[in-house]
Amino acid sequence: MYRSHTCGQLRTADEGKTVILAGWVQTVRKFGSITFIDLRDRYGITQLLFGEGMNENLNEDSLSREYVLQAEGIVQLRNNKNPQMLTGDIEIKVQRYKILNKSITPPFTIQDDTDGGDDLRMKYRYLDLRRNEVKKNLELRYAVNRSARNYLHENQFIDIETPFLIKSTPEGARDFVVPSRMNAGQFYALPQSPQTFKQLLMVSGYDRYYQIVRCFRDEDLRADRQPEFTQIDCEMSFVEQEDILNMFEGMVKSIFKQVKGVEYSEELPRISWEEAMWVYGSDKPDIRFGMKIANLKSAFKKDGRIIAKGELVNGRGFGIFQQAETILAIAVPGCSEYTRKQLDELTDWVKRPQIGMQGLAYIKCNVDGSFKSSFDKFFGSEDLEAIAEFANAQPGDLVLILAGLEERTRKAISDLRLELGQRLGFRKKEEYKLLWVLDFPLFEYSGEENRWVARHHPFTAPKPDHIGIMIQNDPLIENATDYLNHPYATIKANAYDMVLNGNEIGGGSIRIYQRDLQEKMFTALGMSKEEALHKFGFLLGAFEYGAPPHGGIAFGFDRLCSILGGSESIRDFIAFPKNNSGRDTMLDAPSTIDDKQLKELAIESSAPKS
Amino acid sequence: MYRSHTCGQLRTADEGKTVILAGWVQTVRKFGSITFIDLRDRYGITQLLFGEGMNENLNEDSLSREYVLQAEGIVQLRNNKNPQMLTGDIEIKVQRYKILNKSITPPFTIQDDTDGGDDLRMKYRYLDLRRNEVKKNLELRYAVNRSARNYLHENQFIDIETPFLIKSTPEGARDFVVPSRMNAGQFYALPQSPQTFKQLLMVSGYDRYYQIVRCFRDEDLRADRQPEFTQIDCEMSFVEQEDILNMFEGMVKSIFKQVKGVEYSEELPRISWEEAMWVYGSDKPDIRFGMKIANLKSAFKKDGRIIAKGELVNGRGFGIFQQAETILAIAVPGCSEYTRKQLDELTDWVKRPQIGMQGLAYIKCNVDGSFKSSFDKFFGSEDLEAIAEFANAQPGDLVLILAGLEERTRKAISDLRLELGQRLGFRKKEEYKLLWVLDFPLFEYSGEENRWVARHHPFTAPKPDHIGIMIQNDPLIENATDYLNHPYATIKANAYDMVLNGNEIGGGSIRIYQRDLQEKMFTALGMSKEEALHKFGFLLGAFEYGAPPHGGIAFGFDRLCSILGGSESIRDFIAFPKNNSGRDTMLDAPSTIDDKQLKELAIESSAPKS
C-alpha cells in the first residue's frame, strides 16, 4: 500500500502517529516559509503542513493542482481548527514526500461550482467524476443499489442473470442489433428489458426473481433519455396485484430509510388512471401540492341538487366556452392580485407551440369576496362564484381556465399546474410524495396503423372482469374516428405505476399466463399467428407446461437515483453517460470500424461515405 | 397471494393449521380411495392427501405431472414419516383445490437424472430449469454473487456501472459490434471487459471499484466457452501487487466459507510462472496432487555434487533421449505393476494428435527395489535408479517419460499428469486447492504477425526492474526464429492469476499509469502513434491529469461457480446459455431481421441468401 491511512480518517486521537497518506493535491497555499497542501482522496481531505526544510524542496518541485502525492509525517493538532472538515482538527507535519504522478492543468476546476461547460465535462468525464458533486451522486447510486438488493434478498428474491444477446422482437421501441459472425446474415438483439426471460423463470418455478440490469432502446433521444439504462427488474409467482403493491411499497420505503434517512410511514395513496387523468391531467401526478383540476363541463352534485353537464359554463353567450369539448380549471393559491403583465405572460406561456392552447381565461377571487374575470362580459358575479367554488378556490386565489379538445386541454392544464407549482415553490426538492396509479387502459389506439397497441406491453393481463370483453369481441377497428367506442377501449389492465414527485419511477403488471389468452392478445395487436409463433413461440410453448399466475415490476434505476439525489438529470447519476445524439464524446463512440470487421460479419455499410 | 405457506415450510409444529399451498404436481400416487400428490415449489415438496370426497373429483380432473395446483387443507402428522424430506413429518389433508394451469406432458422428466438429452433440454430450457440439479446451481451462483458483493462492500469497494455501448478497439479477441442508427456508418462495440473504464475510475479517484458484469467476446467457441460471460471485476488505487493478492485471497476464502462452509485458513501458495511451467507444465496447475515434473536434462545438485545438464540421460547410446530438446518425467504413485496392455494404452494416449508425442518411455520402480524400463537396452539399473530418484519416485511407482521439443513436451506431460491424476482419483471434486501464479512474461511472440503481443493486455505494467529493458530496447524483431533471445522476451509482468483445481479463476495486474510508458507499450505492440491515439486517446489523456498507481483483477464468475458446484460445464451455471455455435435454441437466436430494420441502420447483409 502507498498509504497507512486515507485522507478522511485521521482525528484528534491520532495525534503523534506517523502516517502515510496518498492522494491528489486540491489546493496549495504558501505562507512565507511554510506551505499548506490539502490532499484529497475518495474519503476526504487532509491538510499537509510543509515546514522548514520541506518547504524548500516543494518550491523546486512546483507542485500544483491534481498532482498525485504521497506524504509521510506526524499527525499534529491544528492551531486553526476547521469544524467544516471531518479531519479539520488535525494536520500532517510532512517529513518525507514523493510525487507519484504529475498533472497538467485541468481544462476546468475540480470543484462543486466548476467553470466547465457540459460538453467539456463530458469529454473529460474522468475529471468531472472527481468533483465532489458527481462523486456523491455515484455513491448515492451505490447506496440505492445495495439497499434494493438487501431488501429483495431478505424477501427471498434471487438474482438471476438473463442474456444480453437475444432475439429481435421489436414491439414498440426499436431494438439495437448485433450481427452474428458465426451465423452470417443473422442478428442478435440487445434486450429492451428481460421481460420474457423473467416470465420464463416464473414458469421454471423460481418464484421470486430480481436483477439490476442494463436495458437498451434505440429511440430518438429526448433530453435526458439514454440508449442504455438500468432497471431494478423483479417478478413474483402466485401473486395478485395487491401482493406486488405491498412488496414494492416496502422496497421503496426501505430505500428511503436507508439512503435518505426518511421514515416514509404512511401508506401510499392509490388512484385510478382515469381519476389521475381528470384530477391532475397526467398519469404521473405530482401530489406534493393540490391545485386539482376541475372539469367545468362535468355534471356534479351541489347541495343535493344535480348540476347538469355544462351548466356551469354554457348558455352565457361565450362562444369559446360554448363550443369547447372540454373546459378545465385550477385554483392557484394566493395569486388573485396577478397583474395584467403577469397574466399576459401566462397567456403567452400556454400559447407556446409546446402547450398549444388558444388562450387563457381567469377569475380573480379577490380577498374582499368579489370576483373579476377575463370573461366578465358574459358571466355574472354569481356565475363566477359558482365556478370558483367548484374549482375549490379560496379568497385570494386565481382560477385559471383552459378550453379546447379534451386530450390537449388536459395535457395543457397539467403542464400549467406543474409550471405554477414550480414557480410558487410547491415542488420542494426534499419533499417526497409517492403514489400508485392503477387500472390503466390495456390498449391504446395507433392512428398510424389503425390498430390497437399494448399500453404497457403485450404480456400484461386484463382485469379479470374484462377478459370476457377481450375474448368475445373482434379487435378490428372498422371506424377509425370512433375507436373510443370500440369495446377494447374500455378494457382495463392489471397494471400499476409507482409515481414519485411527478415521475414514473416504476411500473408493472400482472401477466397473462394462459396460452389462449396470450394468443388472443397477439391477435388483438394485429400479429398474425405465424408472426406470433416466430417471435414468441418459446413463451407460448412455455405456457403449455404449467405456467403459474405471476406478475412483476421494473423500476427505472437511473431516474430513481436522480430524484433521490434531488436532480433533474439522470446523466448526473451515470458514470459514463451518452449525449443526446447517443455519443460518448470521451471515447468518441460510436465510430467507424475496419473493413475487415465488416467483412467478417458479412455486412456492408450503406451510409453515404463522409 | 395464492398461498399461505410455501411447499418447504410446514413442520410438526404446524399440526392442525389450515393452510393454502400452490405449486407444481411432482408425482401422483393413487391407492384405491385415496391419492397422494407431491406438490413442488422453489422451497420444497409437501405431500397432499386427497381422501374421500376429494379423491373422486381428482379422478375427473385427471391431474398429472407439472399441473399448477392450489390446495387448501389441514396440516396433519403423517403415518409414514419421510426423514429425507424437510416437510416429511406432515401432510396436508386437502379440503379444497383448484387447478391454476394445466400442463401437457413434458418432453423429458423433471428429475435429477432426467431422460432428456442436451439439445432437448436447451430447447426447453424453461423446463430444464425446473430440475433440482439446475436450480441448485443457480442458487449457488446467487450465493457466490451475494458473498462476493458483501466482502467487497465491507472492504470499501463501490459498484459502479460502466457502459455497454462503447468503442471498438479490437486487440486480441474480436468485438461484437452494434450499428448506430443515429450515426449512420458508425458502430458501437460491446465490451470485452470494462478494463479502460475501471482504470479511468481510478484516475477519477474512486479508489476501490467492483462490478459483477457481463462481457462479450466474438471468438470461435470452444466447448464450454460462451460469447457472453460474467466477470467479478475489481480495481484498486495506491496498491502494490501484495495488496491485491491479500485482498482477493480474502474474497475467495470468504466465498468458500459462506457458500461451501469450507474454512480455507492456509495461505495460498505462490509460484512463479516459470516454475509452474517447469514443475507442472502448465500456468494453471492442479495442485490437489503431486506428480511434479522432473526435467531430466536439467542440471541439479546431488550429495553436494553438481550433476551437469543432460548427464542423467545422455551418452547411453539411446538416440531419442540424446537428440530430444527436452525430456520430462513424472512418477505415478503405485502404478509399477501396470501391464503391457495398460502401458500400450497410455502410449496410444500420448500419441493422439491432441497430445502429439512420438512415444512414451517408462521405468517401473518395483516394490522389491528393482527397476524395469522400456529402455533397459541402454540404461543400467543404477542409471534407472538415478532417474527414478530425481523424479522423486518411491518403490511401487511408475515413472513416465516424454521426450521432444520443449513447449510441446511440457504441454504433453502436463496433460498426461492431469489424465492420470483423474484416473487415479487424485482430483477430488470436494477438495479445493488454490494458488497464485506470478511473474508472467509481459509479452508473447506472434509468429503470424512477427511482433509482440501483450500476454495479459496492453495496460499491464512490467515489473519495476524490467521497465528499463522495455524502454531501452527496440521492440522490432529482426530475426523471427531467434525471438526468444530478444530482450523483450525476458521482461516479466506485474501480473497474477488465481488458480483453483487446475483452472484459472481470476487474473489481473498492476497497471501502467504513466503516459510515456503506456505509449511505449502501444509502440511495442506494433501500434502507430495515430492508431494508439485513435483507439486509446482518452486513456492516454487521462494519464496526464494525475493518474494514481493502481491495479486490479477479474474473476471468471461462471467458471468459479461451476468449480464450486463441482461441475465441468459452465453452461450448467448459466440460466439461459448458448450452444457451441453461439445459438440460443430456445429463442431461435440469432435470426434474420426485417429489411426495414437493416435500412434504418444503414447496413446491408452481404451473406449469401439461404
Q: Where are the domains of chain A?
A: 12-101, 134-267+556-595, 289-423, 441-492+514-547
Q: How many CA atoms lie less than 13 Å away from A509 in the CB half-sphere? A: 24
Residues from chain A that touch B197, judged by Cβ atoms under 8 A, are 575-576
Alpha carbon distance B476, B256 (integer Å) = 46
Alpha carbon distance B252, B69 (integer Å) = 42
Residue pair B196/A125 in contact (Cβ under 8 Å)? The answer is: no
Strand B434-438 to B495-500 pairing: antiparallel
Side chain identity at residue B247, one-letter code: M
Residues from chain A that touch B608, judged by Cβ atoms under 8 A, are 184-185
Alpha carbon distance A470, A216 (integer Å) = 31
Q: Which of A139, A574, A601 sits opposite B158 (nearest CB)?
A: A139
C-alpha cell at A249: 411499497
Alpha carbon distance B554, B244 (integer Å) = 11
Q: What is the percentage of chain B residues whose pLDDT exceeds 70?
A: 99
User: CB under 8 Å to A93, separation ≥6 — which residues?
Assistant: A49, A51, A73, A74, A76
Alpha carbon distance A11, B387 (integer Å) = 65
Alpha carbon distance A442, A445 (integer Å) = 10
Summarised one tens digit per residue, pLDDT across range A80-112 is 999 999 999 999 999 999 999 999 999 999 888
A547·B160 Cβ contact <8 A: no
**Angle, vertex CA B539, rays to CA B538 and CA B543, nearest 5:** 120
- Nearest-CA distance from A507 to chain B in Å? 20
Residue pair A436/A389 in contact (Cβ under 8 Å)? The answer is: no
b/e A387-397 (16+ beta carbons within 10 angstroms → b):
bbbbbebeebb
| CATH superfamily to which A12-101 belongs | Nucleic acid-binding proteins (2.40.50.140)
B546·A67 Cβ contact <8 A: yes
User: CB under 8 Å to A141, separation ≥6 — which residues?
Assistant: A557, A561, A573, B160
C-alpha cell at B263: 474454512
Summarised one tens digit per residue, pLDDT across range B111-152 is 888 888 899 999 999 999 999 999 999 999 999 999 999 999
What confidence score (pLDDT) does residue A509 get?
A: 98
**Two domains, one topology: A12-101 and A134-267+556-595:** no
Residues from chain A that touch B592, judged by Cβ atoms under 8 A, are 185-187
Detail the DSSP E strand segments found in B465-585: 495-500, 503-510, 550-556
Strand B90-101 to B177-179 pairing: unpaired
CA-to-CA dists, residue B331 to B199, B328, B362, B428, B513, angstroms: 46, 10, 9, 19, 46
Alpha carbon distance B394, B371 (integer Å) = 11
Residues from chain A that touch B236, judged by Cβ atoms under 8 A, are none
Residue B478 pLDDT class (50, 70, 90 cuts): confident
CATH class for the region spanning B134-267+556-595: alpha beta
Instruction: Give which of A26, A105, A202, A587 to mutate to test B binding, by max B Cβ within 10 Å.
Output: A587
Residues from chain B that touch A129, judged by Cβ atoms under 8 A, are 200-201, 204-206
Alpha carbon distance A15, B609 (integer Å) = 77
Side chain identity at residue B377, one-letter code: K
**Nearest residue on chain A to B141, judged by CA atoms?**
A160
Query: What is the number of other CB atoms lying within 10 angstroms of the CB of residue B314?
Result: 17
Look at the domain B289-423 and name its fold.
Gyrase A; domain 2 (3.30.1360)
Residue B610 pLDDT class (50, 70, 90 cuts): low
Query: What is the number of other CB atoms lying within 10 angstroms of the CB of residue B571?
Result: 21
Residue pair A350/A402 in contact (Cβ under 8 Å)? The answer is: yes
C-alpha cell at A445: 389506439
Predicted TM-score (pTM) of this structure: 0.95
**Nearest residue on chain A to B207, judged by CA atoms?**
A42
What confidence score (pLDDT) does residue A114 get?
A: 84
3-state secondary structure A388-456: HHHCCCCCCCEEEEEEECHHHHHHHHHHHHHHHHHHCCCCCCCCCCEEEEECCECEEEECCCCEEEECC
Residues from chain A that touch B573, judged by Cβ atoms under 8 A, are none
Average pLDDT over residues B447-474: 93
What is the pLDDT of chain B when averaged over all its residues?
Answer: 94
List per-block mean pLDDT (blocks of 10 residues) for chain A, which spans 610 residues.
97 98 95 93 97 79 90 96 94 96 94 88 96 96 98 98 93 90 95 97 98 95 87 98 98 97 95 96 97 95 88 90 95 97 97 95 96 94 95 97 96 98 94 96 91 93 95 89 91 97 97 97 95 94 98 98 93 95 94 92 85
A and B: number of Cβ contacts within 8 A: 367
Interface membership of B222 toward A (CB under 8 Å): no
B68·A548 Cβ contact <8 A: yes
Alpha carbon distance A6, A497 (integer Å) = 44
Residues 171-210 in A contacting B (C-alpha not used; CB under 8 Å): 174-190, 197, 200-201, 203-208
C-alpha cell at A330: 385550477
User: CB under 8 Å to A147, separation ≥6 — which residues?
Assistant: A254, A255, A258, A259
What confidence score (pLDDT) does residue A173 get?
A: 85
C-alpha cell at A492: 382495463
Alpha carbon distance B320, A92 (integer Å) = 70
Alpha carbon distance A408, A354 (integer Å) = 11
